[in-house]
Structure 1
Amino acid sequence: MTQPQSLHSGEPGSSLAVHVRQVEARLRGALRPLLAEHGLTMDHWRIIAVIGAEPGLGMGEIATLAVVPAASLTRYMDKLVERGIVVRRIDPGDKRRSVVALSPRGVEYAARLRAAEAGVASEGLG
């Protein structure tokens, strides 16, 4: 019977949790200058990335996919709308639902953030 592989090999920094935090720190360092242009955070970037990949999602879906608390999403979204990165409209098919998408400015901004993110990925994730 094959033994399950351990995530911890005894080597310093070999923990999955450590690797995830290291990648996150490199990513944050690469994106911080671009995010600072609009006073945004990594939480905002994850929301922008989710909306850019899948416009028309509901707020709960965005919160789940972007890994942000649903209770905070409206505040984050308000800031993105205020900065002209996201447009928010009432869903014509369901007046109780908001529909969000990246604005043209948001599409351009997201492309710059994705390019910086790709630079981190090309350096290697581990």
Structure 2
Amino acid sequence: MNPTWYTRSLRLYAPPFIEQVEAKLAADTWDLVDRFLTELVFIVSEVGAGLETRTARFRFSRRFAREDLRSEPAEDGVLLAEPALRVTSVELEHHSTCLGFALQESLHANVWKTGFRNKALRRDSGSPH
């Protein structure tokens, strides 16, 4: 791969749907991929019964040809564990496959706009704080 390329990845999690994503991406010829310096990657994970996952990757540089990656259970429902983010899933009781997701940030900053506004107003009024 050319070192000037940069990659953007999108992870998708859902009940079985890899074939549908593959069909949508195969509907185009992707004949101009060699003209772009961006690598767009879809990492598609199906979450089935018992939270068993099956994952495939679709890369722009390969004209979104399907690459099967792995099949494994989601331990304790954990689908993704990265330093900044953790995604877990549970099966919900419905008549069809249905999943519930929880996104947990490792660090969260809560910024109050009014605090910024008040600070700016005090500074503008000549106050030292």
Larger strand proportion, structure 1 or 2?
Answer: 2
**Fold conserved between structures, TM > 0.5:** no
- TM category, shorter: under 0.3
Q: Which protein shows a greater Rg?
A: 2
Q: Normalization by structure 2: what TM-score?
A: 0.26
Which structure has the higher relative contact order (CA within 8 Å, separation 6+)?
1
Q: Normalization by structure 1: what TM-score?
A: 0.27
Larger helix proportion, structure 1 or 2?
Answer: 1
